[in-house]
Amino acid sequence: MNQTNFNRSARILRAVLFSAGIAALLAMLPLSASAAGLDNSGRQLYLTHCAGCHGTNGISAVPDAKDFSRVELMAQPDQNLLNVIRAGRNMMPSYLGILSDQEIISIINHIRTLN
Ligand code: HEC
């Protein structure tokens, strides 16, 4: 094989590998999308239900929503936070019947990691 043919084969091989890579990535997309749909992690629940007001990073996005960076707030035991989240308070909606206690606890665990 002369140099020109070799270069051409190498280019073709690269193109084939590249398309195979793209195909593999595309094949994974529906999988990860459905995995995200089933994602019940505290982080995912937080992003779905709470981040609209409390911000992705726990810095409030609306007036009056509490910043989870406030130490006094997060020093409260899980049970207190759970009660507020279940019952709602003023502008904050109640999550009773929307989220299970177990889901609220995973959200609390997640917001304790924000600061
Ligand atoms: C519609 C906007 C909104 C949404 C959505 C929302 N919150 Fe709030 N949240 C607020 C506001 C406003 C306050 C302040 C309430 C007050 O004390 O008047 C608050 C307060 C809190 C507090 C502080 C309670 C305390 O002891 O002072 C916690 C904890 C909290 N929210 C958690 C959550 C969690 C977890 C979610 C999601 C499941 C959530 N919030 C969803 C608006 C919201």
CATH number for 67: 1.10.760.10
Tell whether 22 and 47 lie within a shared domain: no
Ligand 1 atom nearest the C-alpha of 46 is: 37
Residues of the domain holding 95: 42-111
Mean pLDDT of the region 94-98:
97
Tell whether 34 and 48 lie within a shared domain: no
Tell whether 52 and 100 lie within a shared domain: yes
- The total number of structural domains in the chain stands at 2
Going by CA atoms, what residue is nearest to atom 2 of ligand 1? 53
Alpha-carbon distance of 111 to 115, in angstroms, equals 8
68 CA to centre of own chain: 17
Distance 42 CA to ligand 1 centre (A): 15
List residues bridging with 89 in a β-sheet.
Answer: 92
Helix (H, G, I), strand (E, B) or coil at 92: strand
Tell whether 55 and 98 lie within a shared domain: yes
Tell whether 20 and 57 lie within a shared domain: no
> The tokens of 110 are what?
């997640």
Contact indicator for 18, 26 with CB cutoff of 8 Å: no
Tell whether 57 and 104 lie within a shared domain: yes
pTM for the full model?
0.74
Which is more confidently placed, 40 or 27? 40
Model confidence at 25, pLDDT cuts 50, 70, 90, reads: very low
Residues 69, 62, 44: CA angle, nearest 5 degrees: 65
Tell whether 33 and 51 lie within a shared domain: no
Output the pLDDT for position 38.
52
Which is more confidently placed, 76 or 29? 76
**One-letter amino acid identity for 63?**
P
Distance 75 CA to ligand 1 centre (A): 15
Tell whether 22 and 58 lie within a shared domain: no
Q: Which phi and psi angles does 46 have, rounded to 5°?
A: -60, -45
